[in-house]
Amino acid sequence: MSSDPPGVRPPMLKSMDEPMRERMQQVLKSIMKLNHARSHFNVPVDWKKLKLLQYPEIIKDPMDLGKIEKKLEADRDEPFDRKHYQLAEEFAHDVRLVWKNALVFNYTPSSPVYKSAKALAEIFEDKLAKAYRRSEMLGPPCPLKTRCQLLLSDIRRNPLSEWYRRDDWKMFGPSYVQGLSSGEPMDLDQVQRRLAQGDYDVAVDGGAPVFKADAFARDMGLIWRNAMEFNKEGVFWLCPKILKDTFDRRHEMLLGAPVPRERGKRREEREGWPSFERKRDPGWARVATAHAWRPALRGRRGLRARVRYARSGLHE
């Protein structure tokens, strides 16, 4: 199932250059060392040996951590346009697909495979967010609204969000809405439309509209709360729980990431530096310029500089 509206390809952010590839490889290796991974997810499911005859009927896109590791390793020497993973989000998609397949096929919460997938999914999202932090904090300034769009695009492409992208809740009829404490159904398509048409942009004191990240986060949180309230347990409770934790962790990070400085907005005063009012004083500007000349006036090479300095009148 496609996660994007027709004709729309949401932007991505984290190009899989060599430093990013190495960080993703470190994340993957740290996961594969864990007992949960070694027991169930490092190699393909041998459904014939295990006599899981329904596995290929239920799981249409099998994936394992060993296959992902081979792709990452092969990408080391490949040109960018031939890499398996050109974006970190594509790598994350495949890892999340491992967890989704395990949760869907082993849907009983008491299943050892289900428990392992749950534990590893939570560990992976935490490690991934820490690996992303460098790109978010040290990368070029980016508007907060754009960062939130990128996060929404990543959530929409997450295999665990398959059931929350569209208004499939309508198939349950009026009883679904009546059973929600919020009384307000929400899905990722609706959040995307609101974001695109500026519903989260609010004019303050008659000025230009300003993006309100808290309103965006409120609607995203509503998706997860509704799903967890309607599905009391099992995979359809766990998936929104993982998505909620993933979104909350990443959204909090974005709020502290650098954004472009507003045009016309004055920089903050810095302690120990001349104030903006002082810099506007013509007398101070002449003194500052004179101080800048002084190092050039020393030594034999400063003769011409001293002549220019004398003619400038800055010494008066």
**For residue range 9-23, what is the model confidence (pLDDT) as tens digits?**
444 457 888 889 999
**For residue range 245-300, what is the model confidence (pLDDT) as tens digits?**
999 999 999 999 888 876 655 556 666 666 766 666 766 555 555 555 455 445 55
The residue length of the chain stands at: 316
**For residue range 182-215, what is the model confidence (pLDDT) as tens digits?**
999 999 999 999 999 999 999 887 778 999 999 9
The answer to whether domain 8-139 and domain 143-263 are alike in fold is yes
Residue ranges per structural domain of the chain:
8-139, 143-263, 276-312
More confident residue, 290 or 80: 80
What does the DSSP assignment read for the chain? ---S-TT-------B--HHHHHHHHHHHHHHHTSHHHHHHTSS---TTTTT-TTHHHH-SS---HHHHHHHHHHGGGS-GGG-S-SBHHHHHHHHHHHHHHHHHHS--TT-HHHHHHHHHHHHHHHHHHHHHHHHHHHS----HHHHHHHHHHHHHHSGGGGGGSS-GGGGG-HHHHHT-SS-----HHHHHHHHHTTTTEEESTTSSEEE-HHHHHHHHHHHHHHHHHHS-SSHHHHHHHHHHHHHHHHHHHHHTS--PPPTTPPPPP-TTS--HHHHH-HHHHHHHHHHHHGGGGSSGGGHHHHHHHHHHTTT-
pLDDT of residue 264: 54
User: Which listed CATH number (2.60.40.10, 3.40.50.150, 3.30.465.10, 1.20.920.10) goes with 8-139?
Assistant: 1.20.920.10
Identify the CATH class of 143-263. Answer: mainly alpha
More confident residue, 1 or 266: 266
Q: How confident is the model at residue 303 (pLDDT cuts 50, 70, 90)?
A: low
Q: Average pLDDT for residues 86-99, to the nearest whole number?
A: 95
pLDDT of residue 11: 42
Q: How confident is the model at residue 173 (pLDDT cuts 50, 70, 90)?
A: confident
pTM, two decimal places: 0.77
